[in-house]
Amino acid sequence: MPRHFLRDDDLTPAEQREVLELAWAFHEDRFLRAPLSGPRAVALVFDKPTLRTQVSFSVGVAELGGFPLVVDGRLAQVGVRESVPDVTRVLDRQVAAIVWRTFGQDRLEEMAAVSRVPVVNALTDDFHPCQILADLLTVAQHHGGLGGLAGQRFAYVGDAANNMAASYLLGGATAGMHVVVAGPEGYLPPAAIVARAEEIAATTGGSVTVTTDARAAVTGADVVAADTWVSMGDEDEAADRLAALADHQVDAGLMALAAPDAIFLHCLPAYRGKEVTAEVIDGPQSVVWDEAENRLHAQKAVLTFLLEHR
């Protein structure tokens, strides 16, 4: 059976460390390994708008020696014109792996249940695990290496019910970090995600805190992260979201509460003046461009890991 990467806790702490070490090695030598030489194709299926994901996976597959086969989800209409299992059976006879950026996590799980090749979550409404690996690599590069991840205080502020918050909870706990997520009432993570993160943290020495107090979350933090307040699919709720989340903007005053050497992360696209001010995201503590580049290295590492652990 192939290994899949559908959510952050599909990797054990030791496996996450192995992937991050490989990602770091790819950062140092982009052509270190070529598990897709041939070239073997990887299907990149996009149901949602994309820039960083399409670019980083396309470049990454090519640098691994493979061929990035981009499938436009609007044309393929996976699950509409053909069922998810039927589409999967067409793809897995011709490609080495399937990367899917889609809406429901259940669609991804339905694909993985029948696929004979690895399936990778390139974002769903519930999780964004490749982004979290890139973020962990970025934190390690700026704060003490991979061995320094455990024990760091990671504060996420904003819509704490979204996919990024869920992945920060699971992925951060796996890395042994002290993860704090802050959002207003009505924008807090599902209880099941918090419980799973607490379960992981109990084995790694990390911890999990959920709060409505953004200032308390950020105080003393080594890392501060934000995300858009209006995720893809939430556009009809934009006005309500902007009003509800207004007190959870990351500005200079909030960043001043973090550790003096704290870094700022944002998975992009960013909306200056809403979830973050320009002086923060364009300021000296921001490492968002390193973070964006690290999608490439992290995803190459994930693909290599999955292909070599079948």
Question: 226 has which bridge partners?
Answer: 266
Q: Where are the beta strands (DSSP E) in the chain?
A: 41-46, 67-72, 97-101, 119-121, 153-157, 178-182, 207-211, 223-226, 263-266
Verify whether residue 16 is a known catalytic residue.
no
54 is in an annotated binding site: no
DSSP one-letter string for 27-76: HH-TTS--TTTTTPEEEEEESS--SHHHHHHHHHHHHTT-EEEEEEHHHH
Structural contact between residues 108 and 124, judged by C-beta atoms closer than 8 angstroms: yes
Verify whether residue 285 is a known catalytic residue.
no
163 is in an annotated binding site: yes
Verify whether residue 267 is a known catalytic residue.
yes
164: number of Cβ within 10 Å: 26
162 is in an annotated binding site: no
118 is in an annotated binding site: no
22 is in an annotated binding site: no
89 is in an annotated binding site: no
83 is in an annotated binding site: no
Structural contact between residues 122 and 191, judged by C-beta atoms closer than 8 angstroms: no
268 is in an annotated binding site: yes
Catalytic residue among 266, 295, 297, 299: 295
Catalytic residue among 101, 153, 178, 297: 101
Catalytic residue among 131, 152, 249, 299: 131
77 is in an annotated binding site: yes
Verify whether residue 249 is a known catalytic residue.
no
Verify whether residue 33 is a known catalytic residue.
no
d(CA 260, CA 286): 13
Catalytic residue among 7, 153, 227, 266: 227
| Residues tagged in the binding site annotation for carbamoyl phosphate | 77, 101, 128-131, 267-268, 295
| Residues tagged in the binding site annotation for L-ornithine | 163, 227, 231-232
Residue numbers annotated as active site: 101, 128, 131, 227, 267, 295
| Residues tagged in the binding site annotation | 77, 101, 128-131, 163, 227, 231-232, 267-268, 295
